[in-house]
Amino acid sequence: MLFKLSHIDKKARAGTLVLPHGEVQTPVFMPVGTQASVKTLSPQELSDMKAEIILANAYHLYLSPGTDVIENAGGIHNFMGWGKNVLTDSGGFQVFSLARLNRISDEGLEFQSHIDGSFHFLSPQKAIEIQCSIGADIIMTLDQCIEAGVSYEETLEAMNRTTLWAQLCADEMAKKSPGMPPQNLFGIIQGGMFDSLRKISAEKITSIGFPGYAIGGLSVGEEKPVLYRIIDLLNSELPDKKPRYLMGVGVPEDILYGIELGIDMFDCVFPTRAARNATVFTKVGKRSLRNLSLKYDLGPLDGECSCYTCKNFTCSYLRHLFKGREILGLRLASIHNIHFLINLVSLSRKAILEGHFSDFKNEFLSVYSGGRFLNIYGGQF
């Protein structure tokens, strides 16, 4: 994988990821397609919205339909009819958050499926094997996730295990024959909310050497200044020439702060999950499509938006669809929210290339949050 940095504006970076299924302009927001489907949307719609890479979950796909089904189709791109890039996570996060975790050791994770209670064992080697079967363009090392507020000792133990697993994943990748489709394995930095552990984790993971680095274990309930402090800290520890991926973060304010602090890649289920609950992003903040004030509103939900939803439908109709539990409502809100974030990172990239990203960020947030999200981080940008 090649990562070309086009321009750095203070810490904010505009670049290009050259991946097996096409180039990806960064910063990038990656819509989440947990079960090989970005919920409610077709591949065509994602493509129309200029999505260049989406995320899928190895944990879910391993359980259903099973890697044999995806291998039988020739990999996830063929399986789901998506010709652009895919990133899969390792499954670690889902084992901690969704499954019943029975035992954890240096060898891996023993868990029961959230679907049928069946027993499974996920080792670092198995995480690589699963992701190789799925065939995504970027895959992730197995990491140990911890809850918010965990002690220093527990965080240290999880961080050390994450380092061990990262090495085992890298070793497993090295064994793969060169005939395999090219897959890029990213390392994940852990260390909870402890700056010292985050620094050690960054040092150890980067010393193993990966084509890209992810920051895991954030956006788990911590205060925003803590989130931004750790991003800032890590970005100065990570090698400049490799892409940086902030896992699971995807509301507009976090994306903009992340970009300002040097993050290149984002993913989050929030935009599509919120959409299915009638919450949409607009220039002036989040809005509910169930609001009575929209009953006779013949305007689009965001007058400046060029998405299919805003170009073709009124707030009055969108509210009606949600009131009537029509699936079209879920689709139209999802299209809008994904388009909103893809547009936001695209405008961010333009501002970086033009050298005025912080002004762009501040202008956006002063309108979006009425100033509430400005100056939320005390660090120097």
**What is the closest distance, in whole angstroms, from the C-beta atom of residue 377 to a copy of itself in the complex?**
37
Tokens of 9: 């504006």
Candidate residues 2, 18, 50, 72; the one interacting with a copy of itself per rule CB under 8 A: 72
DSSP per-residue letters across 302-356: STT--SHHHHH--HHHHHHHHHTT-HHHHHHHHHHHHHHHHHHHHHHHHHHHTT-
**What is the closest distance, in whole angstroms, from the C-beta atom of residue 33 to a copy of itself in the complex?**
9
Task: Tell me: does residue 42 bind a copy of itself (CB under 8 A).
Answer: yes
Q: Scanning residues 297 to 356, which ones bind a copy of itself (CB under 8 A)?
A: 298, 308, 312-314, 316-317, 319-321, 323-324, 326-328, 330-332
Q: Scanning residues 43 to 62, which ones bind a copy of itself (CB under 8 A)?
A: 43-44, 60
Candidate residues 4, 50, 103, 295; the one interacting with a copy of itself per rule CB under 8 A: 295
Query: Is 4 or 295 the residue whose CB approaches a copy of itself more closely?
Result: 295
Tokens of 301: 């939900």
Is-contact 198 189, C-beta < 8 A? yes
- Of 23-31, 176-184, 216-224, 294-302: span binding a copy of itself (CB under 8 A): 294-302
**Residue 110 dihedral angles phi and psi, to the nearest 5°:** -100, 120
| Count of residues that bind a copy of itself according to CB under 8 A | 39
Query: Is 60 or 161 the residue whose CB approaches a copy of itself more closely?
Result: 60
Task: Tell me: does residue 41 bind a copy of itself (CB under 8 A).
Answer: yes
18: β partners: 2, 23
Q: What CA–CA distance (Å, rounded) separates 51 from 211? A: 22
Task: Tell me: does residue 75 bind a copy of itself (CB under 8 A).
Answer: no
Query: Is 38 or 142 the residue whose CB approaches a copy of itself more closely?
Result: 38
**DSSP-based three-state secondary structure for 21:** coil
Instruction: Please list the active-site residues.
Output: 89, 267
**Residue 109 dihedral angles phi and psi, to the nearest 5°:** -120, 125
Task: Tell me: does residue 296 bind a copy of itself (CB under 8 A).
Answer: yes
Q: What CA–CA distance (Å, rounded) separates 184 from 7? A: 23
Burial class (CB in 10 A: 0-12, 13-18, 19+), 33: buried
Q: What CA–CA distance (Å, rounded) separates 130 from 153? A: 31
26: β partners: 15
Query: Is 327 or 367 the residue whose CB approaches a copy of itself more closely?
Result: 327
Is-contact 213 247, C-beta < 8 A? no
**What is the closest distance, in whole angstroms, from the C-beta atom of residue 31 to a copy of itself in the complex?**
13
**What is the closest distance, in whole angstroms, from the C-beta atom of residue 6 to a copy of itself in the complex?**
34
Q: Scanning residues 190 to 219, which ones bind a copy of itself (CB under 8 A)?
A: none
**What is the closest distance, in whole angstroms, from the C-beta atom of residue 55 to a copy of itself in the complex?**
15
In the shown chain, the binding pattern of residues 19 to 38 toward a copy of itself, with x for contact by CB under 8 A and - for none, equals ----------------xxx-
Closest CA to 297 of 308, 307, 310: 310
Candidate residues 16, 26, 40, 57; the one interacting with a copy of itself per rule CB under 8 A: 40
Amino acid identity for residue 293 in this structure? S
Q: Scanning residues 100 to 119, which ones bind a copy of itself (CB under 8 A)?
A: none
Candidate residues 5, 8, 73, 208; the one interacting with a copy of itself per rule CB under 8 A: 73
The Cα diameter of the chain in Å comes to 62
Q: What is the number of other CB atoms lying within 10 angstroms of the CB of residue 69?
A: 12
Cis peptide before 27 (omega within 30 of 0): yes
Q: What CA–CA distance (Å, rounded) separates 213 from 23? A: 18
**What is the closest distance, in whole angstroms, from the C-beta atom of residue 350 to a copy of itself in the complex?**
29
Candidate residues 2, 4, 22, 69; the one interacting with a copy of itself per rule CB under 8 A: 69
Task: Tell me: does residue 285 bind a copy of itself (CB under 8 A).
Answer: no
**What is the closest distance, in whole angstroms, from the C-beta atom of residue 92 to a copy of itself in the complex?**
21
Q: What is the number of other CB atoms lying within 10 angstroms of the CB of residue 357?
A: 28
H/E element, 280: strand 279-282
Residues that bind a copy of itself (CB under 8 A): 35-37, 39-44, 60, 64-65, 68-69, 72-73, 79-81, 295-296, 298, 308, 312-314, 316-317, 319-321, 323-324, 326-328, 330-332
